[in-house]
Amino acid sequence: MNRISSFQSRRQFLQRTAALGLCAGVNRLLPAYALQPTHGSSAHAVHNTTGAIDLAIREEKIHIAGRHAMATTINGTVPGPLVRLREGQDAVLQVTNHLREDTSIHWHGIILPYTMDGVPGVSFPGIKPGETFTYRFPVTQNGTYWYHSHSGLQEQTGVYGPLIIDPATPEPFQYDREYVVVLSDWTFQNPHWILSRFKKEAGYFNFQQRTLKDFIRDIDEKGLKATLADRIMWSRMRMDPTDIADITGATYRFLLNGLPPEANWTALFKPGERVRLRFINAATGTYFDVRFPGLPMTVVQADGQNVQPVTVDEFRIAIAETFDVIVQPKEDRAYTLFAETMDRSGYARGTLAPREGMSAELPERRKRPLLTMADMGMGGEHATHGGETPKTEGHESHSGPPPPPEQTTHAGHGAMPGTEKKADPSGDVMHGPDHHGPGNSMVAMVSKSRLHEPGIGLENMPWRVLIYSDLRSLAPWPDPRPPAREIELHLTGNMEKYIWGFDGKKYSEAPEPIRFYHGERLRLTMVNDTMMNHPIHLHGMWMELDNGTGPLKPRKHTVNVKPAERLSLDITADAPGNWAFHCHILYHMDMGMFRVVAVSKPQHA
């Protein structure tokens, strides 16, 4: 019997959809976890797969956010169904392609043989129209993950879904019920048309650019000379301080489990219960800042890996990351689940309530944040993030580990910005050329660790915001060896031409893979030379984030790199084969911020 976690029949799907007012002669095509607010899946339930799971990808008409649209569905739903596996068993997933083009499924964050990783042209040829591909791999981990297409721009049109792996042994925390929360963004525009517009006018979808009114206000606050100097500097860089997200809420609708904010997805609880929420950011181009106003959250997992519990009031979830939190509402009242976009142009929304039909007030929307010269790696200028509010130093109210020491690199001093410390089998570091050119419109003059910063727009919150230096693994990684060598990569881009890449080159210009040697311990250092945040994902291997916690470095499959940030990750190259390494902003990846990591035997072996 095929086993996909499901709580309702298709008839119940349609009944619930109609009740939400989202079905107008067309099936809304929502998965069970989006339409099932009455009972969270049991904390002790085991949705174990003993046979094959069938997943069918096809194009279907849906009704979403009040409009009709064509979507690419998995088993008839957007997002796709909840796939639930169990640690210690073998997964067998049969994916059938009913499209007129090739497709694929990548199991994001899952450790498996590279031929099962699902990246066309890297680890397998893709799935042709009318064909079925069977993924088989041992399940060697547990936690919250997700899956999505790695073909073209299909992820933007609906090919994504949650993947939960139940542990073989008891978890180190207790909870009474759980919910899956898949955050995403939806556009009614053809994503290929969007990409073509980016190439013609990169700021086409940025509806938050500064206006004459902003110019006059800045003169009143800063004076004419300072305002003109600021505008001239941004003009010379051919950048805009509002370039925080490529696509804003003017184009995107922001969804929670496939539902727009007005649908008010609801998770139920009984006062005093501990509720686990598994957050997955399956968006194509959107970061979310998540909070339950008036209700603290305890983070217990990051990217599917258990961490020492840390209680916060808000967390930023980068594209492709997952965070598991536990909340314990004790009052008989509703709480708003508010997922505001990083650029403040919109939000996804749900409710945590003791009874159906309840809702709570939405929090006040925050001002649009602006990038500063400090974000551009220019140094010296402390800023006006968060709209017009000055940025504060430090991050108050934290009791976590101290921030790692600053690793500041100035142009012409030490490791040159825009260079890679090339792989060398002897363990030596080889420096490459400067990467300032057509594919890189700027080089950060000063790069430093920003792991202790919550991120743009979150600097002055009166509550505790999760930061990367809060995260500590429950146990040290089993490989305690220090890295024998270091590879340095610069995240580069030219916003005006909409070119993205590593070390000034897009993927088509960098045919040679990044070389890892099987069994080695290495350090990957990334420097962000661009003005945007980038969620960087390595397939097939864990990255241990060097965040100042010593042997308890958290393990991540996706790490956010802030503008002008330098961060390091330790990696044990224990997975032979070819692996994708890329930015998880889909349009950045498609425009060149993608490389292949080849894990092979050392040349001297």
27-41, 217-231, 245-259 — which one is most confidently predicted on average?
245-259
Q: What gap in Å lies between CA 210 and CA 206, rounded to an integer?
A: 10
Please report which confidence band the pLDDT of residue 1 belongs to, taking 50, 70 and 90 as the band edges: very low
Q: What does the pLDDT average to over 43-60? A: 70
Q: Looking at residue 16, what is its pLDDT?
A: 45
Over the stretch 243-258, which tens digit does the pLDDT of each residue have?
Answer: 799 999 999 999 999 9
- Band of pLDDT at residue 496, cut at 50, 70 and 90: confident
Nearest C-alpha neighbor of 278 from the set 238, 206, 215, 337: 337
What are φ and ψ of residue 205, in 5° steps? -100, 5
The per-residue DSSP string of 74-119 comes to: ETTBSS---EEEETTSEEEEEEEE-SSS-B--EEET----GGGS--
Q: Is the pLDDT of residue 432 over 60?
A: no
pLDDT tops 70 at residue 4: no
| pLDDT value at residue 79 | 95
428 pLDDT above the threshold of 80: no
Cross-strand partners of 289 = 316, 340
pTM: predicted TM-score of the whole model, two decimal places: 0.84
Q: Provide Rg for the chain, Cα atoms.
A: 23
Out of 217-226, 316-325, 354-363, 429-438, which region has the weakest mean confidence (pLDDT)? 429-438
Cα–Cα distance list, 137 to 114, 143, 463 (Å): 10, 16, 43
List pLDDT tens digits, range 254-289. 999 999 999 999 999 999 999 999 999 999 999 999
Nearest Cα residue to 81 out of 113, 52, 46, 53: 53
Per-residue pLDDT, 446? 80
pLDDT at position 213: 63
Q: What's the rounded mean pLDDT across residues 74-88?
A: 95
Across residues 286-296, what is the average pLDDT?
98
For residue range 100-134, what is the model confidence (pLDDT) as tens digits? 999 999 999 999 999 999 999 999 999 999 999 99
Could you read off the pLDDT of 331-373 as tens digits, one per residue?
999 999 999 999 999 999 999 999 999 999 999 999 989 877 6
Q: What is the largest CA-CA distance in the chain?
A: 72
pLDDT at 209: 57
| Mean pLDDT, residues 501-528 taken together | 95
**Cα–Cα distance, 265 to 283 (Å, whole number):** 18
For every residue of 284-323, DSSP letters joined together read SS--EEEEBTTB-EEEEEETTEEEEEEEESBEEE-TT-EE
Residue 444 has pLDDT above 70, yes or no: no
- For residue 401, name the pLDDT band (cuts at 50, 70, 90): very low
Average pLDDT, the chain: 83
Window from 24-28, 49-53, 249-253, 471-475 with minimum mean pLDDT: 24-28
Looking at residue 421, its pLDDT comes to 47
**Dist. CA 177–CA 328, nearest whole Å:** 11
In this structure, what are the phi and psi dihedrals at residue 600, rounded to the nearest 5 degrees? -140, 175
User: Using one digit for the tens of pLDDT, what is the confidence trace for 317-334?
Assistant: 999 999 999 999 999 999
Provide the 3-class DSSP secondary structure of residue 548: coil
Average pLDDT, stretch 415-420? 36
Query: For residues 133 and 117, what is the distance between their CA atoms, to the nearest angstrom?
Result: 12
**Whole-number Cα distances in Å, 420 to 61, 114, 116, 436, 503:** 47, 25, 30, 13, 7
